[in-house]
Amino acid sequence: MIARAFGLLICIASGAWFGHAFLPILFSSFNQALGASLGALVWMIWDHIQISRVWRQLLNEKLPQSISWAGIWNEWLEKFSKERRTFRQQLIQSNLRLQQFLSAIQASPNGVILLDLESRIEWCNLMAAQQLGIDVTRDHMQHIAHLVRDPTFHLFLNDELESHELVIDSRQTRVDFTQRISFQIFPYGEGRRLLLSRDVTQIEQAEAMRRDFVANVSHEIRTPLTVLAGFVETLQNLKLDQASQDEFLALMAQQAKRMQTLVEDLLTLSKLEGSPLPGMQELSPLQSIWENCIHNAISLSNTLYPEQKQIIDADTATFLQDLSFAGSSQELISAFDNLASNAVRYTPPGGSIHFGCVAIEGRIEFIFQDSGPGIAVEHLPRLTERFYRVDRSRSRETGGTGLGLAIVKHVAQRLGGELKIQSQLGVGSRFSFTLPQERIKLEVESEI
């Protein structure tokens, strides 16, 4: 401001001197006043020009890095330019951080929805849109209750439920698949709310399987224990002849063996789930494993049905004699024995069983086919679940634990193989276990 006042005084003094020295002599004082006025007018015009240039610079989006022309307004313009550049840099950084934050929310496995004061959708990530069937563009600023048409959700949205979390079926639910979505609401800002959604389908399924597993294990162990306790009490309190004692002891041994088999299968499952995948270093002859499986199946068949024998057609698969299996032989033997045992146990006396082996494009498929009662289509997807039984009474009669196919499924997954199940009521069932090509080695390669 001092510089501007000093400039004005110089212009007025210069104008007064000019009026006194060069204007026609009328009145000396009048000439000086006129000159001073002209000087002040010149200063005002120059100052206006500076202000105009400064204003144009302020309106310009790209401010110059430095100002070349002089004047007090230039200092202000330069200072404002620096502050404006600093503000723009901060704005760019803020926008960058905002985009990074939104990208992080987009990558979240959970749904995130921002609701305004009236529960309208201000923003949501793609996961929330997928879970709730929301169109991000079309449904922007739509009321969330109009999109999630569930009476319980409306009560939850209005804080009319005691629970802080709500689980309902999503819009993606189909007849053959039920998707469960969990919701939580958190207030933020001035009356706004954050709605979080999470897919809990697998969590609920795992919890249901855990409850069923505990209940089934308890039931499977309690039954033989009850039988054993009853026989022990009978032997302790009653005087029985030798024949009755032998009969009771045989039944007790049978129940004890049933519990032992159950425990062994549980330990096998636990080992399969907790141990690392089998490597490729251990090599075992495939034909020996396959022939041993067939031999065990024939022995079991002769034991269960000594009078009316089953008809077993077994393919010895001579092409296996030059091949080795790379992996844990115990796991493969366990899978084969379970499949062969099921074929024998569920085939009636006099029925037919086929054990086959074929090579398909470098892979080897082992077939276990029986002429048993067959399995209804609705039971096939659940056959590999632990303790799942189509007919519980039939399973106990044959001595099954309900864990065999679960073991086979785990072995197939660990080896990179595949378990296929085909069945028809009244005709029989066909189970196939396929070994991948990388698990099959030539014996010549194993010796090198």
235 membership: H or E segment, kind and range: helix 201-237
DSSP reduced 3-state for 283: strand
pTM score above 0.85: no
Instruction: Quickly tell me which residue has 């002859």 as its tokens.
Output: 285
State residue 157 phi and psi, 5-degree precision: -65, -30
* Count of other CB atoms within 10 angstroms of residue 339: 24
Cα–Cα distance, 423 to 375 (Å, whole number): 6
The token pair at 330 is 């115990």
| Domain 108-199, CATH | 3.30.450.20
* Angstrom distances, CA of residue 316 to CA of 63, 334, 336: 88, 19, 14
Cα–Cα distance, 234 to 274 (Å, whole number): 42
Cα–Cα distance, 174 to 349 (Å, whole number): 43
State residue 183 phi and psi, 5-degree precision: -120, 145
Give domain limits for the chain. Answer: 2-60+71-98, 108-199, 206-275, 277-447
Classify residue 257 as left (phi > 0), alpha (psi -120 to 50) or beta: alpha
DSSP letters spanning 17-42 = HHHHHHS--S-HHHHHHHHHHHHHHH
State residue 221 phi and psi, 5-degree precision: -80, -35
Cα–Cα distance, 346 to 395 (Å, whole number): 9
The separation between CA 428 and the C-alpha centre of its own chain, rounded to angstroms, equals 37
Cα–Cα distance, 168 to 159 (Å, whole number): 16
Nearest to 383 by CA among 427, 349, 415, 423: 423
Strand pairing report for 323-326 and 311-314: unpaired
Instruction: Quickly tell me which residue has 């002209």 as its tokens.
Output: 38
Question: First-to-last CA distance in the chain?
Answer: 96
CB burial of 2-20 (b: ≥16 within 10 Å; e: otherwise) equals eeeeeeeeebbebbbebbb
Sheet strand arrangement including 440-442: 283-285, 323-326, 440-442
In this predicted structure, what is the pLDDT of residue 20?
56
- CATH value of 206-275 in 3.55.10.10, 1.10.1740.10, 1.10.1040.10, 1.10.287.130: 1.10.287.130
**E strand spans, 119-160:** 121-124
Q: Would you say 347 and 427 are in contact if contact means Cβ atoms under 8 Å apart? A: no
Q: Is the dihedral of CA 404, 432, 415, 207 positive or negative?
A: negative
In this predicted structure, what is the pLDDT of residue 447?
39
Cα–Cα distance, 162 to 81 (Å, whole number): 57
In this predicted structure, what is the pLDDT of residue 316?
79
Cα–Cα distance, 51 to 47 (Å, whole number): 6
| Domain 277-447, CATH | 3.30.565.10
Cα–Cα distance, 344 to 353 (Å, whole number): 7
The token pair at 75 is 């200092």
pLDDT in tens, the chain (448 residues): 566 666 666 766 666 666 556 555 555 566 667 666 776 777 677 767 766 766 666 666 555 544 444 455 566 667 777 777 788 888 888 888 888 888 888 888 899 999 999 999 999 998 998 888 888 889 899 999 888 888 888 888 888 777 788 988 877 666 557 788 999 999 988 889 999 999 988 888 888 777 877 777 787 788 888 888 888 888 888 888 888 888 888 888 888 888 888 888 888 888 888 788 888 888 999 999 999 999 999 999 998 888 888 999 998 788 888 899 999 999 999 999 999 999 999 999 999 999 999 998 889 999 999 999 999 888 888 888 887 777 655 545 555 677 889 999 999 999 999 999 999 998 999 999 999 999 998 764 443 3
Which amino acid, one-letter code, is at 44? Answer: M
